[in-house]
A = this chain, B = another copy of it.
Amino acid sequence: MADGAEFEKIRAIWRALGERGTGGGDDCAIVELGGVMVALSSDMAVEGIHFRPGWLEPRELGWRAGAAALSDLAAVAAEPRGVLVSLAVSPQWPDESVAELMVGVGDVAASVGASVWGGDLVRGDRLVVDVLVAGVVAEPVLRRGARVGDELWVTGRLGGPARAIAVWEAGSEPERTARERFAHPEPRVAAAIWLRDRGATALIDLSDGLVQDAGQLAAASGLCCVIDVDSVPLHCSVADFETALVSGEEFELLVALPAATEPELARRFWDEHALELTRIGDVVSGSGLVLQRQGEPVAPPPGFSHF
């Protein structure tokens, strides 16, 4: 449901809430709590909708659910501290599987310096995992801060999760590297803070796919993102750019940086994070997203909804 219809529903909710709501409508709520700036976000996954039984082991399910929520903190350069996990599980699920799932959440939380603080466990007829993450955020980098002349960069290589899902849906088992991108996405917390410290003006995580999320960054900033399709770094399991452009739940970062931020930026980033940082475009005046190839505009992939 990560499409125009979802955004419309969410807008309708904030309208109806009126003064009862104080969120900005971002994935991540940034609020003051007892004088401290805190970032909070929740991410819910439903069996049969976000994953199918048999794709992942319980521990992988937990890692993935935790990573999805923690990525929302990375998306504003917050520092995760803890997570709460609400679980609906079928009575048929063995206790060991429930514990394994929670260990997966605990592992990914620990990988970014956070702990499992608690949660809720209820009965359900299919698995539902909702992970709430909390962190502190001294200097948030929001999606709306991009400026004309900024460069657009992306972390990692894109398309792996979409490739894994496509192979599973076709009834086969994906290649190890694509499966790994789906089962063990890494929240880019350290990368986000590194980029913030180098003057990042806008940041978003790729949860809905590069095309969607670049469109969000452009809309929030009131500017136009131009992406050179041929520069988009493809995951090794992926042969076509369309997959990389629309692949969701990548949990990589799209970042706007002032031009010429630092010589050899990508190499320094690699040295620090063992992760690619690739320049894929520019922020210009105007609105929306423009995809281009050898300087000529190209049509967006099917399913892309405009902002």
Point out residues on A near B: beta carbons under 8 Å: 1, 6, 8-10, 12-13, 15-23, 25-29, 31, 33-38, 40-46, 48-50, 81-82, 84-88, 91, 95-96, 98-100, 102-103, 106-107, 109-110, 115-125, 128, 130, 132, 134, 136
Copies of this subunit: 2
CA separation between A29 and B120, bound complex, in Å?
11
CA separation between A117 and B22, bound complex, in Å?
5
Q: Is the CB of B103 within 8 A of A20?
A: yes
Shortest Cβ distance from A20 into B: residue: B106
Chain B residues closer than 8 Å to A41, beta-carbon distance: 84, 118, 120
* Known pairs A33-B81, A81-B33, A130-B86; A122 contacts B44 (CB<8 A): yes
B21, B103, B121, B128: the one contacting A128 at CB < 8 Å is: B128
CA separation between A35 and B34, bound complex, in Å?
9
Q: Is the CB of A12 within 8 A of B98?
A: yes
* Known pairs A46-B128, A123-B46, A130-B86; A117 contacts B31 (CB<8 A): yes
16 more CB-based (< 8 A) A-B contacts, given A17-B106, A130-B130? A19-B110, A21-B117, A22-B82, A22-B117, A23-B115, A33-B82, A35-B36, A36-B36, A40-B117, A42-B85, A42-B119, A44-B87, A44-B130, A49-B123, A86-B130, A128-B128
A99 to chain B, nearest CB (A): 4
Chain B residues closer than 8 Å to A12, beta-carbon distance: 95-96, 98-99
A284 to chain B, nearest CB (A): 30
B17, B20, B99, B125: the one contacting A48 at CB < 8 Å is: B125
Q: Can you show 14 pairs from A to B with CB atoms below 8 A apart?
A: A1-B91, A1-B121, A13-B121, A19-B110, A20-B109, A40-B84, A40-B134, A41-B120, A42-B132, A44-B122, A46-B88, A49-B125, A132-B132, A134-B134
B35, B99, B123, B132: the one contacting A13 at CB < 8 Å is: B99
Q: Is the CB of A44 within 8 A of B88?
A: yes
